[in-house]
Homo-oligomer: A and B are copies of this chain.
Amino acid sequence: MGAATSPSVRKRSRGTPSVPFDDDNAARLALANRVFFRLHQCANLLHKTGSSALEEEGLTTQQWAVLAALSRPEAAGGMTVNELARYLMISRQNLSGVLQRMERNGHLAGGADPRDGRARLITMTPPGRELWQQRALPKIAAYYGRAVEGMSLEDLTRALHYLLTLLDNMTALDAPEDG
């Protein structure tokens, strides 16, 4: 990532006037390079400023994502580690550590799943729910408000669409051996 200069990729689409394709391809690669460079910086800065915004609550952006997931009506009965990991698109192994820290802090509790002895049902504790609703959510709203300043609803919609496109493409890249 970062400032990769485009390598000398020589491809010729048959019948095309020869020059436009290469120019277009080079421009696409240069732009892709800049997009991914900034994407990476954005994610780092999001984590940094987001965690800083909830510093008093001791919540990182990952932990707030977990609380957000568990606060949904669909998750009223709790979620298993695997369900949470799939929902958040992180590995079970990573989530396992995050959950341990949040249980240690008293925000979460994990009980046995009555329907599956292998699974653990993760739920918010009353203090965790209180923290989320009373203290975290207002700060998150303020944070989001400042973070998307200057962007219209249409801008946000388009940005979301682009991110979903990139996610789709990279998901395909992630599992090439079964296609």
| Residues in A lying within 8 Å of B, measured CB to CB | 1-7, 9, 24-25, 27-29, 31-50, 52-53, 61-62, 64-66, 68-69, 71-72, 88-90, 133, 137-138, 140-141, 143-151, 153, 155-160, 162-167, 169-174
Interface residue from B3, B89, B158 paired with A45 (Cβ < 8 Å): B89
Instruction: Please classify the interface of chain A as helix (H, G, I), strand (E, B), loop, or mixed, using the class held by over half of its residues.
Output: helix
> Does B173 contact A146, Cβ atoms closer than 8 Å?
yes
Bound-state Cα–Cα, A143 to B35, Å: 13
10 shortest A-B CB distances, which residue pairs? A43-B43, A2-B65, A7-B137, A2-B68, A32-B144, A31-B156, A38-B163, A159-B162, A1-B65, A45-B170
Bound-state Cα–Cα, A49 to B156, Å: 26
Q: A85 to chain B: closest CB distance in Å?
A: 12
Bound-state Cα–Cα, A133 to B170, Å: 24
Interface residue from B25, B64, B141, B149 paired with A6 (Cβ < 8 Å): B141
Number of copies: 2
> Does B65 contact A29, Cβ atoms closer than 8 Å?
no
Bound-state Cα–Cα, A152 to B154, Å: 18
A171 partner residues in chain B, CB cutoff 8 A: 45
A68 partner residues in chain B, CB cutoff 8 A: 1-4
> Does B39 contact A39, Cβ atoms closer than 8 Å?
yes
Q: A146 to chain B: closest CB distance in Å?
A: 6
The chain B residue with its CB closest to the CB of A1 is B65
A164 partner residues in chain B, CB cutoff 8 A: 38
> Does A162 contact B153, Cβ atoms closer than 8 Å?
no
